[in-house]
Amino acid sequence: MRTLAALAVLLTACATTTPTATTATTTTTLTGPAAADPAVVRTDAGAVRGSVAGGHRLFQGIRYATAGRWEPPAPPPAWRGVLDATRPGAMCPQVGSPYAPVRSENEDCLFLNVTTPAKPGTRRPVMVWLHGDGALGAGHYSDARRLAARGVVVVTINYRLGVFGGFGHPGLRDGGTYGLQDQTEALRWVRRNAAAFGGDPGNVTVFGVSYGASAIGALLTSPAAGGLFHRAIMQSGETLMDMPAGSMVPGLEALPSFMWRSRAEVSALGRAYAGQLGCADLACLRALPVEKILEVPQIMNAFQTYAYGNRVLPESPAEALRKGRFHRVPVLAGATRDEHRLFVAMNYDIQGKTPNYPKLVREAFGRKAPDILRKYPINRYKSPSIAWATVLTDRMWARATHEQNTLLAQHVPVYGYEFADRDAPMFLPLETGFDWGAYHAGDLPYLFEEKDTPLAPAQRALSDRMIGYWANFARAGDPNGKGLPGWPRAGSGTLALEPGKIRVIDYAARHRLGFWK
């Protein structure tokens, strides 16, 4: 229990602004000319009124499901009249973090947002975004206007987080999977309603970053998600990643998986936390106020995993991918060049500490440490932090990403990338002189509009091309298109995305994967 509870893993994907989120409940009557209003769309549960401006239509706070605490989601009840969809719905319960000071105690939070081109159209590709982190965030933080401008319908969703999304207990049949069930239910909503927003329910791409990308690894292997999406984009996912000792949290021992826990492990962890909350059974736990649960330190982070060995995930997604048991859809997947610099900086530099690089390598790799220290000598890097981050980027992120893409490519078309802009602007409120490089989730402002994170002209040009690649892939399962540098399939190279220098690289050589093999 101590090991799992210590997983205070800081996976970024939440914008720094915190607009007020409210549950949209206002309705008006739909009559006469209003039926032809471009701001009004009729879903299978009722009509919604969004906003039209700047070449796009935006619908926010649409309820896609309802769910009791640690219960499966169900389609929402129908309503009469026109629901106001001009404001975000409530965020799922969360306590925020130093880099995202947000908080919510509202369990009525299963809402989504839809951004479409303002110009009428039909059978447009649909992209469903899963935000990262797993303990904080919400769909409305991702401004999808630039993606929608490429003729795409973009859906961003809320899903249950932390202890409310990944909690397990002996009395729960499918415990540890509620956030994943929410994502699957949102995809069912898309299948029923995409056409009403001009989208094609037969051409749905699910895409996500970090925790959201790992959730896609689960959706690829979950029987319930079969047929609900037709392409997948995984940005900095951890589906196949393990954790050497001290890699994510100083002093934490090695773990064989970053994302997946057996049903028995999660149930035992849940029982232990139930004791801390003074409860002996589920009835007691379900009666607790949200704020009481959130008072327990680390409880949100302790359940930033999904459980397997149940109906939702019969086996670990990592093992399922290795055995070729996944839904056959084209995949676009990659990572950033300097993934682990963010985590090292947050553990050390931001706190005014300097890591003991040789000691950390010895603790993580034991008898192999001398070889690693020779391969990554400290005098080659700007600081001990950069040296340690480089080791972990190669050993954890690059190795897992390369294995993932190689396995998937044995069965489906795969396009691998590396986001390599080492001058990417930091969109989190982290002030330090640290050299972030192409940090974890640093590619987000290149896909979603970030008004507080301006891009230089060359970076804006890269952003335009990335959005073009992503939209092309959603449209046809192939990112290539007119005016874009060629992108080969995995096995023939990885596309490095860098301002003014998009090119094919040898990813394995860049990250010394021959050494790590």
Q: Is 210 a catalytic residue?
A: yes
> Are residues 138 and 88 in contact, defined by beta-carbon separation less than 8 angstroms?
yes
Phi then psi for residue 285, to 5 deg, are -65, -40
Partners of 41 in the beta sheet?
48
Tell me if residue 513 falls in helix, strand or coil.
helix
Half-sphere exposure in the Cβ direction for 400 (13 Å, CA):
29
Note whether 142 and 156 are within 8 A (CB): yes
- Give the Cα separation of 206 and 65 in Å (integer): 18
State how far the Cα of 432 lies from the Cα of 486, in Å rounded to an integer.
37
The enclosing H or E element of 127 equals strand 124-130
Strand partners, 56: 53, 117
Tell me how far apart the alpha carbons of residues 220 and 323 are, in angstroms, rounded to a whole number. 13
**Among 41, 219, 200, 65, residue whose Cα is nearest residue 130:** 219
How far CA 301 is from CA of 40, 157, 249, in Å, comes to 39, 20, 12
Q: Is 208 helix (H, G, I), strand (E, B) or coil?
A: strand
Catalytic-labelled residue, pool 97, 104, 142, 210: 210
Give the amino acid at 378. Answer: I
Sheet holding 503-505, edge to edge: 51-53, 56-63, 111-117, 153-157, 124-130, 199-209, 231-235, 331-336, 414-419, 494-497, 503-505
Round to whole Å and give the CA distance between 290 and 95: 11
Q: How far apart are alpha carbons 495 and 510 in whole angstroms?
A: 12
> What's the first-to-final CA gap in the chain, in angstroms?
31
Helix (H) or strand (E) holding 473: helix 457-476
Nearest to 496 by CA among 337, 347, 356, 292: 337
* Four-point Cα dihedral 360, 362, 368, 370, nearest 10: 100
Q: Report, as residue numbers or ranges, the catalytic residues.
A: 210
